[in-house]
Amino acid sequence: MSEHIQGNPDLLYGLHDRPTPTKAFLGAVQHVLASFVGIITPSLIIGGVLGLGEHIPYLISMSLMVSGVATFIQTHKVGPVGSGLMALQGTSFGFLAAVLAAGFVVKNKGGSPEEILSVIFGVSFLGAFVEIFLSQFITRLKSLMSPIVTGCVIVTIGLSLTKVGLTDLAGGVGAEDFGSIQNLLLGGGVLVSVVLISIVNNKVIRSSAIFIGLMLGLIAAILMGRIDFSLVSDAPIFTLPVPFKFGFGFDWQAFIPIAFMYVITSIETSGDLTATSMISGEPIKGPLYEKRIKGGVLGDGVNSLIAAVFNTFPVTTFSQNNGVIQMTGIASRYVGFYVGAILFTMGLFPILGAIFTQLPKPVVGGVTLLMFATVATAGIRILSTVNFTHRNILIIATSLGLSMGVAFVPDVFAQAPQLFRNIFGSAVTMSGIVAITLDMILPKNYGVEFDTVEQHLDDGLKPLRQKAS
């Protein structure tokens, strides 16, 4: 495998190119629109399930503000911290179950909402040091960084997330009109418009495909009477971050699942950054690549540390970021500076963010479905660089078979112990663990003889086939 994937004809701006401020801002807006819902949704879910009530608006505001700062650190690179790639940071969905489990540990003991949050942010703060520590030697763990492992993980991430995109396109979880013709037409129309705009020859229009698609969806939703801007007026006008506003608590039972998720998210982040590097036409092997992965995972850990200090949940590199790069052709890291500024501003002025919360689920789903699928194709491209020996086929088939099985049949481990379900109940975790384990234990030359014999047989049969034809 070569160190670079050269000649990406879809790139309009490479990693170090500097688009004009107008183009950079437009590209940044598309990243924000594509990730905004994903950034605030974990806060909405956690706040609703744990009954945090009045604190939810503040949690949403902090999630946006911290995502802005974290994106700037990850893209700008502060010393050894950050990858220097166009990698947007946002509140991690992967921690959702672990954070809720930690919250219920406190809630079941009669803890108040403030006590729940103090423990969640306390264990998240300490857990971040797990990822910070792991980042220092993650590039030495070759089995974790091999193309076959990262390819399987990225394919799994993309394919498993398509369910989220399609669910939103149909109306969203629990929607009374789920699957209605109106929702399907709205979401499907957005998806089709993005596809059509993406093949236009005009580079400016093509690079704005996601933004234009979302705006067309917003206009259509307004005409259909599905937007209620009166709800925007209920949002606070201005808010400021307060370090450890809810205090600093700790509980071992709450700490363990979150600490484990920091290990898992390190693997996911290395996979996401590999995809970002590849889509950006940058190395996916060698010293520069390893330095970026190490800095990116360290950035994830440091950013999650900052998130806990300023009262929001762990952050990670967003997968949909890669879909936006692939769709727009803009891989410039300087766009990340604008993304960070926009997100931070939205956090300061919650009323600005409240406007985007009015985007109907089908509109968002029409875009995210396509972006998540492009993430899967990025994983397929990485796997295409692997020699398809009998050994590697076994690894890929087992990893994807088990991970997709878990995604399609989530109750498969319903009778297993809770710890086992926490580990293997995630499709991405299953994919990573299986691929890493098999890549470590199967001999590197296993199946090579089989494939060589098969090739010789195929070569020997060629004359017979030619004669028969």
Q: Give the mean pLDDT of 323-348.
A: 88
Structural domain boundaries enclosing 269:
21-384
Looking at the domain assignment, is residue 154 inside a domain?
yes
Q: Give the mean pLDDT of 291-298.
A: 92
Looking at the domain assignment, is residue 464 inside a domain?
no
Looking at the domain assignment, is residue 402 inside a domain?
no
Q: What gap in Å lies between CA 115 and CA 245, rounded to an integer?
A: 11
Evaluate whether 319 touches 158 at the Cβ level (below 8 Å).
yes
pLDDT of residue 96: 75
Q: Between the CA of residue 311 and those of 77, 119, 304, what are the distances in Å?
A: 23, 11, 10
Looking at the domain assignment, is residue 434 inside a domain?
no
Q: What gap in Å lies between CA 400 and CA 274, rounded to an integer?
A: 18
Looking at the domain assignment, is residue 260 inside a domain?
yes
Q: Where are the alpha helices (DSSP H) in 357-417?
A: 361-383, 390-408
* Type of residue numbered 284: I
Find the helix or strand (DSSP H, E) in which 433 lies. helix 427-441
What's the mean pLDDT when you consider all of the chain? Answer: 83
User: Could you read off the pLDDT of 220-231 as tens digits, one per residue?
Assistant: 988 888 877 766
Looking at the domain assignment, is residue 118 inside a domain?
yes
Looking at the domain assignment, is residue 393 inside a domain?
no
Looking at the domain assignment, is residue 241 inside a domain?
yes
Question: 3-state class of 315 per DSSP?
Answer: strand
Q: Give the mean pLDDT of 433-443.
A: 89
Q: What gap in Å lies between CA 182 and CA 458, rounded to an integer?
A: 54
Evaluate whether 85 touches 276 at the Cβ level (below 8 Å).
yes
User: Could you read off the pLDDT of 33-75 as tens digits, one per residue?
Assistant: 778 777 887 887 788 778 786 787 888 889 999 999 999 999 9
Evaluate whether 101 touches 254 at the Cβ level (below 8 Å).
yes
Residue 3 has pLDDT above 60, yes or no: no
Q: How many domains does the chain have?
A: 1
